[in-house]
Amino acid sequence: MATAEIADWRFDLSKVDVWYASYGSNMWRPRLLCYIAGGKVEGMSAPCCGARDKSAPKDVIWKTVPHRLLFAGSSHHYWGVGGYAFLHPESDSNEESHVCIYKITLEQFNDILFQENYLFEDNTAILQIASPLVSISDIELLSKNKSLNIEALKGCSYSNIVQLGTEENIPILTLTCLLSEINRFKLGEVPLSPPPPKYVNILIKGLVEGKQLTEAEALNYIDVAASKKL
């Protein structure tokens, strides 16, 4: 089989580091590595195709951020019936959510973004994408505007890139919904709903193995986020 042609943009983005902040299942490192190396972990209904660059994250740090964690939707591609995690795009000093941040390349970040929105099911298709979803110039815009609506992801669940600050002068980026979707959640057009049990299990693994919370504390953290009204 011929090797897939690799798009030109990848070389430049492979030289740029970002921090990817996860507040959902990717807090658990083995789950995050599915998006990098491919494959799946326990509870997942389908494997991930993985990134072109399968190098492990260069560093991993845990933080808390002043953003609301919530769960919305009715089903999840990997985990079954129930809501999936979002981080409110706007900061709120009364809120505190745990995030695990991974230092990866901007190329890898794009490949995670492709997979998180289920755009491609195989690595060959990802390699041939003509342009990135988040470019180097977009990183510069994020440093000023703090959020970026990816037009190419219109209608996808995670089309909003939010900068949560910096670490080592490198931007901390997360994927979440648009602010307009928060309004739909408030109106009940998209239901706020508890996450599927298999998904909850992975969230707990991430929080416990990351030494952020005990198992009981992690379950309570998830329950509070899933039950609190907007």
Average pLDDT over every residue of 176-204 = 94
The tokens describing 41, both together, are 């972990």
| 3 pLDDT above the threshold of 50 | no
| 4 pLDDT above the threshold of 60 | no
Average pLDDT over every residue of 133-147 = 95
Residues forming beta bridges with residue 84, ordered by sequence position: 72
Report the relative pairing of strands 147-149 and 160-167 from DSSP bridges: antiparallel
How many other CB atoms are found less than 10 A from the CB of residue 54? 13
Q: Which residue has the tokens 């707990």?
A: 204
pLDDT in tens, 8-65: 999 999 999 999 999 999 999 999 999 999 999 999 988 999 999 999 999 999 999 9
Closest CA to 156 of 186, 181, 125: 181
Find out whether 203 and 183 touch, Cβ atoms under 8 Å. no
CA 101 from centre of chain: 10
- Choice between 75 and 142, residue whose per-residue pLDDT is larger: 142
Q: Give the chain's length.
A: 230
CA distances from 14 to 31, 53, 105 (A): 22, 8, 5
SS3 for 27? helix
pLDDT in tens, 82-125: 999 999 999 999 999 999 999 999 999 999 999 999 876 566 66
Give percent of the chain with pLDDT exceeding 90. Answer: 81
Superfamily of domain 9-227: Gamma-glutamyl cyclotransferase-like (3.10.490.10)
